[in-house]
Amino acid sequence: MVRTAGLVAVSPGAPGLPIASQREIRRTIAAALEERQATFGQALEYLASQAATLADVAARLIAALRGGRKVLLAGNGGSAAEAQHFAAELVGRFRRERDPYAAIALTADTAILTALANDYGYEEVFARQVRALGRRGDLLLAFSTSGESANLLRAAAAARQVGLTSVAITGTGPNRLAGLADLAICAPVRETAIVQELHQVVTHLLCELVEAELARPVAASGLPLVEPSGGEHRTAEAGE
Q: For residue 197, give the DSSP letter.
A: H
> Would the pTM count as exceeding 0.85?
no
**Pairing between strand 8-10 and 183-186?**
unpaired
Q: Which CATH number describes the domain made up of 51-217?
A: 3.40.50.10490
Render each residue's pLDDT in the chain as its tens digit; 240 residues. Answer: 444 444 444 445 555 667 778 888 989 999 988 988 888 888 888 888 889 999 999 999 999 999 999 999 999 999 999 999 999 999 999 999 999 999 999 999 999 999 999 999 999 999 999 999 999 999 999 999 999 999 999 999 999 999 999 999 999 989 999 999 999 999 888 889 989 999 999 999 999 999 999 986 544 444 444 444 444 334 333 334
The domain ranges of the chain are: 51-217
Identify the pLDDT of residue 82. Answer: 98
Whether 90 and 207 have beta carbons less than 8 Å apart is answered as yes
What angle is formed at CA 52 by the lines to CA 49 and CA 167, rounded to 5 degrees? Answer: 105
Residue-level length of the chain? 240
Identify the pLDDT of residue 1. Answer: 41
Identify the pLDDT of residue 43. Answer: 81
Tens of pLDDT, residue by residue over 27-83, are 999 998 898 888 888 888 888 888 999 999 999 999 999 999 999 999 999 999 999
